[in-house]
Copies of this chain bind each other. A is one copy, B any other.
Amino acid sequence: MTFIQNAWYVAAQSRDVSAQTPLARWVIDQPLVLFRDGKGAPFALADTCPHRMAPLSMGVLSDGCIQCPYHGLRFDSAGACINNPHGDGRIPDRAKVRSYPAVEKYGVIWVWMGAADSADPAVVPHFPFMDDSEFYVAMGEMVIDGNYQLENDNILDLSHIEFVHPMFSSPAVSAGVVSHEIDGEIVWSRRDIHNDEHPPQFIREVFHVPEGPVDRWLYVSWQAPSYLSLEAGGMAVGAAREQAMTSMQVHWFTPETHQRTRYYYGNSLPKFVGPEGQAIVNSSCAALRPPFEFEDKPLVEAQQMRIGDRNLLHENPIVLNIDAAGMAARRLIQLRLEQEAQSLGDAQI
């Protein structure tokens, strides 16, 4: 098994990366050290000193450079060794560590895991509603002992709600129409719930429909390798769609290893809702955690225990209509992996 290389992955939340304390993180089986320079720009380097393999993240940061904890080799933010405190101070040619292009956007640090010269910040996925200049934004994270594709499946499959999250469900949810659509490299998964006469109380509150039947929907969009957004909307039956309240979430899954994933989840409200907006998104974000942690996570981890180091699809599972979106995502990932293997082969000829 392998991972898509040519992609921006979320390596950490912005708030956890500083110019004072290096942060160690794994992304697609590679150890990284994250830090900022004096101006606050984020950087990501391979977290292994080329001298004796000590983790640079155990070292000392100063002036946007990191010093190996063991023998003091100092590396600048581009990964070049700029000081050898020993002997004649000559710096060996190979004294450098891989530098990963890093971009800060939407409250997180994105790192490019492919060849550095192919990194294009313009292709960081677009989640404009996570832009904190225009939105109140909140975010949480969690480590899952499971493969990231199980998490893609989980969010793209809107049918599991009534079984895994009964609190969010109602008879009308079960009757909701599930559909999916493949739009180029985007996979959409949608659940439209019409005429819900007994929605959970929080639905009435979030979408401002104090009484009467409700039309509501969940629209998920996915793009490779594992970036999803979820729009939840609701309105009185018969109201105009364009005036409905909607709530936006992100679900970003960073593979740390084949069997471990760091899950970033977030939500937002437009700033025009007024200054109480930040408290509301904070509270909503906190409310998301218990179902993710106590309902989804144990299931995904139990799946992983069963699957082990095998590939779910090689186990010949039965496929239901609700898997369509997830299967489409898996196919797009597979296609990207084959393209990368192909171009690697071409490059080696």
Instruction: Name A's B-contacting residues (CB within 8 A).
Output: 31, 48, 50-55, 58, 67-72, 84-88, 92, 94-95, 153, 157, 159-160, 162-164, 174, 178, 298-299, 302-303, 306-307, 312, 315-323
Contact of A86 among B85, B312, B321 (CB under 8 A): B321
CB-based contact B306/A53 at 8 Å: yes
Instruction: Judge whether B53 and A312 touch: CB under 8 Å.
Output: yes
The verdict on A87 contacting B318 (CB below 8 Å), with A55-B302, A70-B160 known, is no
User: With contacts A298-B58, A299-B58 known, is A69 near B163, CB below 8 A?
Assistant: yes
Q: With a CB–CB cut-off of 8 A, which chain B residues contact A87? A: 178, 320-322
Cβ–Cβ < 8 Å partners of A321 in chain B: 86-88
A39 to B316, CA, bound (A): 35
- Write out the residue numbers on chain B whose beta carbons fall within 8 Å of the beta carbon of A50: 317-318
* C-alpha gap A265/B307 in the complex (Å): 33
A contacts with B: majority SS: loop
**Across the two chains, which residue of chain B brings its CB closest to A307?**
B53
> Which of B68, B153, B298, B322 meets A163, CB within 8 Å?
B68
Given the contacts A299-B58, A312-B52, A162 and B72 also touching, CB distance less than 8 Å: yes
Contacts of A86 in B (CB 8 A): 159, 178, 320-322
Contact indicator B52/A92 (Cβ below 8 Å): no
Contact in complex: A159, B298 (CB < 8 Å):
no
Given contacts A52-B317, A70-B160, A84-B320, 14 further A-B contacts (CB under 8 A): A48-B306, A52-B303, A53-B317, A54-B302, A54-B306, A55-B302, A67-B163, A70-B299, A71-B320, A71-B322, A85-B159, A85-B162, A85-B174, A86-B159
Distance in angstroms between the alpha carbons of A72 and B322 in the assembled complex: 12
Complex alpha-carbon distance, A307 and B94, angstroms: 19
